[in-house]
Amino acid sequence: MPRRLRWGMVGGGRGAFIGHVHRMAARLDDGYELVAGALSSDPERAHLSAADCHIAPERSYASFAEMAAQESERKDGIEVVSIVTPNHSHAAIARAFLEKGIDVICDKPLATSLAEAVALRDLAAARGRLLGVTYNYTGYPLVREARELVAQGEIGRVRLVQVEFLLGWLSVPLEAEGIKQTWRIDPAVAGPSGVVADIGTHALHLANFVTGLTLDELSADIQTFVPGRKLEDNAFVGLRYQGGARGSLWASMVAAGEPVGLRLRVYGETGSLAWDQSLPDSLHLRPLDGAPRTIYRGHAASPAAKHGTRLVAGLPEGFVEGFANLYRDYAELIHARAEGRAPHAPALLAPLAEAGVEGLAFVEAVLQSAAKNGAWVKPAAAC
């Protein structure tokens, strides 16, 4: 990196898993320096969290609004901010910083409604600011290798897509116990969707990223299996892509026994690809004619996969490194803009505002379809 970007964070204080992940990822390539934060809505926790992160006391803020206003007035103010708060606050926080000319990296989903996501995308474009959305699984080297293999025609024209993202942790009513992370199924915080917005959007983005396909319409069957739960905890979605390919997406928080089961299979006219997040360093290529082979990270051929690889084959890389690849890409996009040059090509794979819009269009279409007993619905924006 030419230099470290001055970086801030909203949310992600003590006890927040995803905030810690973002900080580890941003540090991995030494491209960011965390200098400011509004790390918690609780003043004492915010103060202690800022001290944990070596943020100067005067740059630990009581609110994101105060942070955006004061940092934008400083000569050494932040250049980019990460948002790692619950869903319902994403849009307001992103808007506050974009309006002050500060680049934004937002955890998914970008907002809780399609209208909010579109407004943020348009605001970022009008202000000439980066608006990244951390669909981190597309930062894995072999996911990028899979995308390149599909684009090169290694499996022929894509016919079938199967993607699933399964968790088991909400198979019982943990929300009744007041566990913090159950805000994901509280409509007041998560928005109108539970599992579809939380992990279904990850699955859709992964499938579309690898295949390069555009979703035309969908049919959804959603369930709330745990009695008394306010949002859906399981979803089956049929996918019809432009050009004729077909797919299915299964997202669940009640797949008992599943820790993190994210799996993708793509079948073309002449072969198939398979990737499993639990074994992220291997990608299976099975041609119709010829011997199947496994491609290992470190031996992948595409520039995008090589760019995303830090260690030699045989030494594992995973979740944090996937996030780190996105952070490195975002830093490259910011530096390239400031220097008036074209960014390095691999950085262009990082998900930006349009990916956030597509995710919310998918969520709204799923809810509309489910309300119509699985009727086929076209998303309001291309997915």
CB atoms within 10 A of CB 250: 19
Calpha distance 142→309 (Å, rounded): 9
Residue type, 155: I
Tokens of 150: 């599909």
Q: Are strands 234-241 and 5-11 parallel, antiparallel or unpaired?
A: unpaired
Q: What is the mean pLDDT of the chain?
A: 95
Please state, in angstroms and rounded to a whole number, the distance separating the CA atoms of residues 39 and 54: 12
Tokens of 3: 């230099």
pLDDT for res 314: 84
Cα separation, 247 vs 239, in Å, equals 5
CATH number of 141-310+357-371: 3.30.360.10
Q: Which pLDDT score is estimated for 71? A: 98
Please give the pLDDT value at position 335: 97
Tell me the per-residue pLDDT of 218-249, one tens digit each, with 9 for 90 and over. Answer: 999 999 999 999 999 999 999 999 999 999 99
Cα–Cα distance for residue pair 113/109, rounded to 1 Å: 9
Summarize pLDDT for 119-147 with one digit per residue, the tens: 999 999 999 999 999 999 999 999 999 99
Predicted pLDDT of residue 382: 46
Closest CA to 300 of 278, 275, 283: 283
Beta bridge partner(s), residue 221: 236
Helix (H, G, I), strand (E, B) or coil at 295: strand
Span 146-192, pLDDT tens digits: 999 999 999 999 999 999 999 999 999 999 888 878 999 999 999 99
Q: Find the DSSP H helices in 102-200.
A: 114-127, 141-151, 187-190, 195
pLDDT at 311: 86
For residue range 317-331, what is the model confidence (pLDDT) as tens digits? 899 999 999 999 999
Closest of 347, 354, 362 to residue 144, by C-alpha: 347
What number does CATH give the domain 5-136+330-352?
A: 3.40.50.720
Distance CA 110, CA 97 (A): 14
CA distance 4 to 285: 39
pLDDT at 1: 64
**Could you tell me the residue ranges of all domains in the chain?**
5-136+330-352, 141-310+357-371
- pLDDT tens across 141-157, in order? 999 999 999 999 999 99
> pTM for this structure?
0.95
| Cα distance between residue 53 and residue 39, in whole Å | 10
Helices (H), 29-101: 43-52, 64-73, 90-99
DSSP code for 377: B
